[in-house]
Each structure stands twice: as structure tokens, then as C-alpha cells.
């Protein structure tokens, strides 16, 4: 029998506990669903706003991003935690739509609450596997950017295959990014930063925006997150990587 949380949604009109179905995707997943307590405010936001600003990644249909965001250029953010940084970026740039993906129910509710409180209508929250979203539900060349901030580093060597930034992921991401769109990664785990730089540099569809071929300074638009601050307090070094999707040779 599947675990109870997979079959009985805690919010019947909110995010599904397993939107694509366990049978839909059998690859090694780069994320782990985190089940933690949803506060009253987060739960109320899920009940009230999910039907308007939320969507489940079920893999069954292609999303009309122009309709969903009213014609705004759209940046996909994979993994937003509790959503504070996402909300700050949305408030600072209302002319860009942010499609924010995560599987953490409290974070989904928190981001919805923050967006409502700040009057930010340029945020949509997607629940489920970002790979299914990219592969099955987004049109080619439809994204103006892709953000992957502080993904799970999977530090043990036997788990490195679970890291998101791999050649296969870049192959898929490249098909969904418009020419010139920027893939922006950030991590405070040095070995993962080195791997990111290596695989991005080697990929033929991406070009480093830094002339020296190295890491980028933290852009002003990326807020300093609580998680990042904790890492800095521990002496971790944060690395940003900004790689642009190359244009077609005849463009």
C-alpha cells in the first residue's frame, strides 16, 4: 500500500500529494518530498489561492505560459524553499513572470501568502517534478530564464547521480530556453559548484557570461537568502554561475 500522505491530500482543493502518479516517472529523482507542519496561515493560503495561482505538474498537458502570465516573459525557478527570495525577486521585477516549482507544502503555502500580501500577481506556484514540467508541459524556447538556487548537493559520492545539474538535464533545459536566456545556478557546496562549472562549460548549447570562463559575482537581483546566510556563517563560499543559451548558428 502507498503511504497515506500519497493517497489522501491534506488540502483537497490544493496541491496534489503525487500529481504525476508514481507510475509516471521511474528515473532517479533529484529531490525528496519533505513533509513538515503547515501553519494555519500557510494552510489558509493554499485553500484560498491554489485554484488561482497554483498548478500541479501532472504531465498531461502543455501550459500556455502567455495566458498564464498575461504575456509576461517567464523565468522558471526550480526549488524555492520557503519562497522569501522568490517573493523579493517578483516584487522587484513585476514585468517578469516567475513560475516557481517545489514539492514542499509549507513553502508553497508561504510563497502564496507572501505573493498575496505583496500584491504580486506575477508569481505562479507549481507542485511536483520539474523534469516532468520541462519535458511534458512547457513549449520549446518558451522560457526567458531558468534559476536553480542552492539545490540539494547530495554530498555522498554514491548520490552524485541525483544532482540536478547534469548533462542530461542541460540537454532538456536547452530545448525550453529561448536563445539568449540565462541559466543561473548558485550553490554554497564547493564540489558541486566545480561540477556545475565543468558540465556547463562543456555543454555546446550554453555559453558562460563571464569573460574569464569562471564564476560570476552574485547579481544584485538575487537576494541573500536565510539559507545562504547560514552557509556564510559556517564559512561556506557561495558561487553563482550564469550561462546563456546559445543562439542557433544561422540566427
Query: How many other CB atoms are there within 10 angstroms of residue 121's CB atom?
Result: 16
Cα 19 to Cα 141: distance, rounded to the nearest angstrom? 25
**Beta carbons of 227 and 150 less than 8 angstroms apart:** yes
- Give the active site residue among 152, 171, 212, 250: 152
- For residue 43, what is its C-alpha cell? 494552510
**How many Å separate Cα 176 from the centre of its chain?**
14
Active site (annotated) includes residue 233: no
117, three cell numbers: 500580501
Report how far residue 172's alpha carbon sits from residue 95's, in angstroms, rounded to the nearest whole number.
26
Of 132, 108, 137, 128, the closest CA to residue 50 belongs to 108
Which DSSP letter does residue 205 get?
T
Q: How far apart are CA 122 and CA 7, in angstroms?
A: 31
Question: Which residues are part of the catalytic machinery?
Answer: 152
Amino acid at each position: 500500500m502507498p503511504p497515506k500522505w500519497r493517497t489522501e491530500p491534506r488540502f483537497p482543493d490544493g496541491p496534489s500529494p503525487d500529481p504525476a502518479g508514481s507510475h509516471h516517472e521511474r528515473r532517479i529523482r533529484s529531490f525528496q518530498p519533505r513533509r513538515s507542519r503547515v501553519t494555519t496561515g500557510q494552510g489558509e493560503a493554499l485553500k484560498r489561492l491554489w485554484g488561482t495561482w497554483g498548478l500541479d505538474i501532472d504531465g498531461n498537458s502543455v501550459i500556455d505560459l502567455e495566458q498564464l502570465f498575461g504575456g509576461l516573459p517567464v523565468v522558471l525557478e526550480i526549488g524555492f524553499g520557503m519562497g522569501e527570495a522568490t517573493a523579493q525577486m517578483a516584487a522587484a521585477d513585476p514585468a517578469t513572470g516567475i513560475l516557481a516549482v517545489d514539492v514542499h507544502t509549507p513553502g508553497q503555502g508561504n510563497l502564496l501568502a507572501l505573493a498575496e500580501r505583496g500584491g504580486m500577481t506575477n508569481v505562479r506556484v507549481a507542485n511536483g517534478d520539474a523534469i516532468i514540467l520541462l519535458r511534458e508541459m512547457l513549449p520549446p524556447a518558451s522560457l526567458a530564464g531558468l534559476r536553480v538556487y542552492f539545490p540539494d548537493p547530495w554530498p555522498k559520492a554514491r548520490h552524485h547521480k541525483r544532482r540536478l545539474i547534469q548533462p542530461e538535464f542541460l540537454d532538456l533545459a536547452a530545448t525550453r530556453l529561448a536563445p539568449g536566456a540565462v541559466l543561473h545556478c548558485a550553490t554554497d557546496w564547493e564540489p558541486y559548484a566545480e561540477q556545475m562549472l565543468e558540465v556547463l562549460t562543456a555543454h555546446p548549447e550554453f555559453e558562460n557570461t563571464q569573460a574569464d570562463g569562471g564564476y560570476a559575482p552574485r547579481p544584485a537581483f538575487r537576494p541573500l537568502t536565510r539559507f545562504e546566510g547560514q552557509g556564510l556563517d559556517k564559512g561556506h563560499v557561495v558561487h553563482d554561475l550564469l550561462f546563456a543559451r546559445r543562439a542557433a548558428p544561422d540566427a
